[in-house]
Structure 1
């Protein structure tokens, strides 16, 4: 792991490979280890960076009442400190909200966006009652031992066809979630609505989803596709929300093809 200091916080990250910079932003309750198949599979022609978000992995805990703007500023500070100019950004699930918040505040910073299993924020993509249900669920889980709620989350992240070893790997990573991290991420993003940002996106954007995603269903994907000018939508069949783990080869191929198209 490498580290940089941003706004008084130590932000940890992994780096692998050489080539154009591709930065990976993980989902809530995870850390950079969740990107193992991408750090291994895409580093043959990209410099792949995977951060530990504030409060996750080996990064410091932020203010528990962190705002979306503060998260965006930390993200921009991390990119400026650790990553060459104009990187490609890839955010999955909650990480897609991080990317959209970064773009809202710093649209000139990234070269392209990959939004995987993405939302326009929960409030921008889901019915109000579902937003409140999810918010209350995470709020209730923050101070519980992770083993009490991980087994409830896993069936919503994977299909029943997923490799048990991959599911077990994700479970081990999620077992290290910290209350401080969940509390800050919920504060920053729990009721976020990025619908106003979508039509302003003017850089190449790939939307990448699993066909059987329970948490961010395909109607969410199609709405983002409709709202983001010139965006591309790729759907990988028979996989769920953590598509990068359940179908890593197909996921990496879609990302690679998209980035090659930009370079071409």
Structure 2
């Protein structure tokens, strides 16, 4: 018979006990599509409290940035599932393009009454959407924060071959009979392989958590057509192409070992920004939001103190 000292230790929790108390879920209809979004209220508002609108990455949803939101309990954070992902419906009309997502940001902000003191944060594909939105709509938000920003063309350079293979994968999945196409997109082996490739942490519990998050949420998309359109958008644009138009303060938070948004590209992007600062987190790749939310939140907090509303 095992004693108390011999009982296995409980699995670690990667969220604080207070996160649930801050959480409020809601739906809103925008241009005919139902959009799900979550608001994380500040535990206690202070003069430094800001409203941060978060745009998640490709095939993710609001769950991906939860650990970062958890590390910013003094902020009000609003995180929608982008149309076509998570619990949000696809666009009723129009392609799932960077421009269409920019229109969504405009309409979403108007529906929630979010003004120009709103902070806009984009992760990965969300960095493309956020940067292009700001370039097209100057003065709508301030400042801009980009985590693991896509700083260069995905179809060029050393990673271009892998990107082209991914394009073939999504096109094939869209053209196969529906059951086969969905099985390919939601293949546990493919999802796990992607997760293993991006995770850099040696912490086995954290790796298990990351893989569990990807298996739970990576396949929550509206349909194959919207997914293909969104993927095409994600590899057709990048932040550097509009960097010169980003006249507001911009924070870049990059991973030292990021193989998707490489560090040399981040330095080149930072040099193109009129008012940008680059912060690099060592030992992490494209999963800053999962692996190092504390350092990321620290950079965000310091940046917002330097650039108050």
TM-score (structure 1 length as normaliser): 0.89
Q: Does 1:21 align with 2:48?
A: no
Q: 8 Å contact 1:65–1:188 — kept in the other structure?
A: no
Tell me how far 1:72 sits from its aligned partner: 1.2
Distance in 2 separating the partners of 1:64 and 1:138: 19
Distance 1:185 1:145, change over 3 A: closer
Q: Partner of 1:48 in structure 2?
A: 77
Measured in 2, the distance between the counterparts of 1:148 and 1:177 equals 18
The 8 Å contact of residues 13 and 49 in structure 1, kept in 2 or not, is answered as yes
Structure 2 runs not aligned, ≥5 long? 1-24, 43-48, 175-180
Answer yes or no: is the 8 Å Cα contact 2:155–2:235 preserved in 1: no
Bigger radius of gyration? 2
- Whole-angstrom CA distance in 2 between matches of 1:196 and 1:212: 23
Partner of 1:234: 279
Residue 140 of structure 2, aligned match among 109, 115, 130? 109
Distance 1:89 1:125 in 2: 28
Q: Separation in 1 of the partners of 2:152 and 2:80? A: 20
Aligned Cα root-mean-square deviation (Å) = 2.3
Match of 1:171 among 204, 210, 215: 215
SS at match of 1:149: helix
CA distance in 1, matches of 2:279, 2:290: 16
TM-score, normalisation: structure 2: 0.77
CA 1:129–1:106 in structure 2 vs 1: closer, same or farther (change >3 Å)?
Answer: same
More displaced, 193-202 or 119-128?
119-128
- What are the within-5 Å matches in structure 2 for residues 114-153 of structure 1? 114-120=145-151, 122-123=153-154, 126=157, 129=161, 131-141=163-173, 143=181, 144-146=184-186, 147-153=188-194
- Residue 67 (structure 1) aligns with: 97
Contact 1:37–1:245 (CA under 8 A) maintained in structure 2: yes
Give 3-state SS (helix, strand or coil) of 2:28's partner. strand
C-alpha displacement of 1:184: 3.0
Q: How has the CA–CA distance of structure 1 residues 83 and 234 changed in structure 2, closer, same or farther, with 3 Å as cutoff?
A: farther
Deviation readout 1:97-133 (Å, 9 max, x if unpaired): 1102211321221111111111146359756555534
2:195 corresponds to 1:158: no
Call closer, same or farther: CA 1:208–1:166 in 2, change over 3 Å. Answer: same
Per the alignment, in what secondary structure is the counterpart of residue 240 of structure 2? Answer: coil
- CA deviations on 1:63-82 (whole Å, 9 max, x unpaired) are 57333322211121112212
Match of 2:243 among 178, 198, 215: 198
The 3 A distance-change label for structure 1 pair 116 and 14 is same
**Secondary structure of 2:88's partner?**
coil
Q: Deviations over 1:122-163 (max 9, x none)?
A: 359756555534433443455324124212211332115252
Does the 8 A contact of 2:96 with 2:226 survive in 1? no
| 1:244–1:252 contact (8 Å) kept in structure 2 | no
* Matched positions, count: 263
> Is 1:252–2:297 an aligned residue pair?
yes
Within 2, Cα distance between the matches of 1:139 and 1:152?
Answer: 19
Q: Which 10-residue stretch deviates more, 57-66 or 23-32?
A: 57-66
